[in-house]
Amino acid sequence: MEFAPDTNYLVIKGRFKATASSSYGLFLIFMDNVTKNTDKIETVASHFSTVYDTNINMPWSELQDMITKLRWKGEFATSLTHDVQATLEDLFQPGTGRGPDIWNAIKKAMVNKAANFFEEFLARPTGDKGVKVELAIETITKSDIENVKKMREERDMLNNLNIQNQAKPTQTEPKLEESAVVLDVSLVLSPISGVPIYELKEGTKIFIKITEQTSRGQYFNDLLGANEGGEILPVPATVKKVSKEGKIYTVLVEIGPGIYGKSIDEDTVKVKLYDSAQDKRKAQKTIEPAVSTIETTPETSQSLSKGGSFLFWVMGGIGLLILMILVYLGLGI
């Protein structure tokens, strides 16, 4: 392919699948057209095939947003992503890597040959020699990057404003127990088979992840068996309320008695419904209601009073009988 003289970067957009090890992922690589070195490598990997369903022909900025969102929401395999990132850095290591070979193959429109280099290296972190890689290419300028950066800043300012407005309490906000705990959670998304967020109803059971980065969040993940090897696994939750402000939806879910979660998402997402067969936790724990102390009702008090009175008269009678026996024996002496 021909590179325009004013382009500064070659952007390699890719996805891979290693079915033997259930490893799937996306990556985005920025190569300097002059030095042929990488300026940035971004990756995300998962053991769920839905990651591979992503269309890598979308603009590079949208793919970058998707990778960022998946990582921010915790919807990835931590160790696998780390290993893939390290492998790609080795692949493009200046002096010892295959960066120039990949750049030249793409320059000659030999994209499949470039993909072969990726497959050779990704066989290590995925543990699958049959790993398949697909690539899509873009060329961009520094001004393209600056324009995207500016657009994102404006978008983030607008989203923050919408979220702040959405967070204001309203009269329709459900009343929770005084001792209720509300955690930051993320809805588990399923772009293909999921339910649109605007179709969620009260009582719908879905998958969520407790993403609150606090000791409290860690405690409930451990309690539910959702923390395995540093990876946060999805847990079931029941939708309590769905509210909307513009294109932003706030979903309140119940994880267990007195334990709730809140997630804020855009109107375009599809949510994964709960299926026990897809619950990956080794121990599918739930939060049970706390055992409360028994309140003393009037009837209970009356029964206790009657029991106490009866016992009092019995003990009194026995004491009187003993006293009479002692008096009798004393007179006999």
Chain mean position to CA 196: 17
| pLDDT tens digits along 196-249 | 999 999 999 999 999 887 888 888 888 888 888 778 889 999 999 999 887 888
Per-residue confidence (pLDDT) for residue 216, from 0 to 100: 86
Burial 201-229 (b: 16+ CB within 10 A, else e): eeebebbbbbbbeeeebeebbebbbbbee
One digit per residue, pLDDT tens: the chain, 333 residues? 545 556 689 999 999 999 999 999 999 999 998 888 999 999 999 988 888 988 999 999 999 998 988 887 777 888 999 999 999 999 999 999 999 999 999 999 999 999 999 999 999 999 999 999 999 999 999 899 899 999 888 877 876 666 566 555 444 556 777 778 899 898 998 888 899 999 999 999 999 999 887 888 888 888 888 888 778 889 999 999 999 887 888 999 999 998 999 998 888 889 999 998 888 887 766 666 554 444 444 444 454 455 555 555 666 667 666 766 665 655 454
Per-residue confidence (pLDDT) for residue 24, from 0 to 100: 95
Distance separating alpha carbons of residues 54 and 52, to the nearest angstrom = 5
Per-residue confidence (pLDDT) for residue 304, from 0 to 100: 44
Distance separating alpha carbons of residues 266 and 249, to the nearest angstrom = 6
- 227-228 and 231-232 as β-strands: parallel, antiparallel, unpaired? antiparallel
Per-residue confidence (pLDDT) for residue 75, from 0 to 100: 73
Tokens of 328: 């009798």
How many CA atoms lie less than 13 Å away from 264 in the CB half-sphere?
A: 14
Taking the domains of the chain in order of start, what are their residue ranges?
Answer: 9-142, 173-278
CA angle 209, 215, 219 (to 5 degrees): 60
Phi, psi (degrees; rounded to nearest 5) at 199: -100, 0
Phi, psi (degrees; rounded to nearest 5) at 173: -65, 130
CA angle 29, 33, 38 (to 5 degrees): 35
Which residue type occupies 102? Answer: I
**In a 3-state reduction of DSSP, which class is residue 158?**
helix
User: Nearest to residue 164, comparing CAs of 175, 152, 156?
Assistant: 156
Tokens of 114: 């470039």
